[in-house]
Amino acid sequence: MNTPAATGFDIGSRTGKAVVTDREGTILHAATVETVGNALRTFEDLRALLPPGLPDGLPSTATGYGRAAIEGRVRRTATEISCHAIGALRRLPGAATVIDIGGQDAKVIILEEGRIRDFAMNDKCAAGAGRFLEVMVPRLGLTLEGFSRLDVAHIEPLPISATCTVFAESEIVSLMASGADPIVLAASVAAMAARMAALLAAPLHARPPFFMTGGVSRIVPVRHHLSLILGHPVETSDDASLSGAHGAAIMALRDGSCFK
């Protein structure tokens, strides 16, 4: 039976994630909660969802925007860049570019031989991120779950010129008023989100293999359009939203005595 050996926490802007791994870095338990606006409360909610009876003193690392608030409750903290890189490489060894689109921001990480060579972040504007999609999708009469599964491979999107959530929403409303098909508009919204990530990646000379992490990685239309723009498939996994927390736990293993 695998024994718990480390914990990792990712306190993000929209959700908090936690994983428990064994000494090989395999995930044994995972939990996700909505961020409640208080990083410490989110941390406690995550801990309450982990299995009872975990050994005391497990190596632990926290990452995400709320990591500083729980610094005294974990063994160490680490940047999202490092943790997402580690978590992505666990899922796709040999990945050269990691694209993380979360609730409020986006990150592109360039890797060479498993090491971070460069990165870029957009944490000033939520356009193209999860919050942007949460605003846009209901305007189209769709649920986020339904939007996530849409097949837009044969749909030509309409151009959305705005790069701001407020102005993009205004464009969508105008297009709806003109009678545009909601499914075409859904493809257009997905294409805009993908374009924002690609613009972040372009100055870094991003190259394949590409791997996508964060909650938006589950949204098929965005990943489809990102693959088209980049000219290569963008890979992901069912648990890619846990990559930050998983990378944090693996980092804790490397620091803990169980790894030495």
- Residue among 99, 24, 32, 13 nearest 245 (CA): 32
**Tens digits of residue pLDDT in 52-69:** 888 878 999 999 989 999
CATH of the domain at 32: 3.30.420.40
The tokens of 42 are what? 């989110």
Residues 75 and 39 in one domain: yes
Cβ-count burial of 14 within 10 angstroms (0-12 exposed, 13-18 middle, 19+ buried)?
A: middle
Q: Answer yes or no: is pLDDT of 1 > 60.
A: no
Q: Tell me, what amino acid is at 114?
A: G
pLDDT at residue 48 in the model: 94
pLDDT at residue 125 in the model: 64
- Residue among 30, 26, 46 nearest 38 (CA): 46
**pLDDT mean across residues, the chain:** 90
**Tens digits of residue pLDDT in 68-97:** 999 989 999 999 999 999 999 999 999 999
pTM score of the predicted model: 0.91
Residues 106 and 120 in one domain: yes
Residues 164 and 192 in one domain: yes
d(CA 106, CA 126): 8
Residues 249 and 183 in one domain: no
Q: 1 lies in a domain?
A: no
Q: Please state which of the ranges 2-6, 27-31, 119-123 shows the lowest mean pLDDT.
A: 119-123
Domain total of the chain: 2
Residues 115 and 232 in one domain: yes
**Tens digits of residue pLDDT in 105-145:** 889 999 999 999 999 998 666 667 788 888 888 888 899 99
* 192: alpha, beta or left? (left if phi > 0; alpha if psi -120 to 50): alpha
Containing structural domain, residue 23: 6-90+242-259
Higher pLDDT, 72 or 98: 98
Residues 229 and 197 in one domain: yes
**Tens digits of residue pLDDT in 168-204:** 778 888 888 888 898 999 999 999 889 989 999 999 9
The tokens of 113 are what? 């031989």
